């Protein structure tokens, strides 16, 4: 682990939320079909990280697109502030 800036996934998600780089999907979704298709479209558009809070037949949320774009990956590993390419 490169840095203790984010002690856990929740802290990283909270920072993404504060930065406006996390979209929260509260609608019920199927993990295998619907969430995957939403994820694919968001990646293709260069969109934010996603947090699905209501995944059918699951007791936990699903977070996706955390390592894209590369600025999010750098932020997660080093804590260095970075702007999303869409915001430049």
Q: Report residue 57: phi and psi, to 5°.
A: 60, 25
Contacts of 20 (CB under 8 A, 6+ apart): 48
Q: What is the pLDDT of residue 74?
A: 58
Q: Rounded to an integer, what distance in angstroms lies between the CA atom of residue 88 and that of residue 39? A: 23
Q: What is the pLDDT of residue 88?
A: 36
Whole-prediction pTM = 0.72
Q: Rounded to an integer, what distance in angstroms lies between the CA atom of residue 54 and that of residue 83? A: 28
Q: What tokens were used for 43?
A: 């990646």
What is the pLDDT tens value at each position of the chain, 88 positions in all? 345 478 999 999 999 999 999 999 999 999 889 999 999 999 999 999 999 999 999 999 999 998 865 555 555 665 555 544 444 3
Q: Rounded to an integer, what distance in angstroms lies between the CA atom of residue 16 and that of residue 10? A: 10
Domain assignments of the chain as residue spans, ordered by start: 9-87
Q: Is-contact 66 74, C-beta < 8 A?
A: no
Q: What is the pLDDT of residue 84?
A: 46
């Amino acid at each position: 682990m490169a840095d203790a800036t984010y002690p856990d996934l929740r802290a990283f998600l909270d920072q993404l939320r504060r930065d406006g780089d996390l979209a929260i999907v509260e609608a019920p979704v199927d993990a295998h079909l619907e969430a995957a298709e939403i994820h694919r479209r968001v990646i293709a558009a260069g969109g934010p990280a996603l947090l699905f809070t209501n995944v059918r037949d699951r007791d936990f949320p699903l977070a996706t697109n955390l390592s894209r774009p590369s600025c999010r990956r750098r932020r997660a590993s080093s804590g260095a502030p970075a702007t999303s390419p869409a915001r430049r």
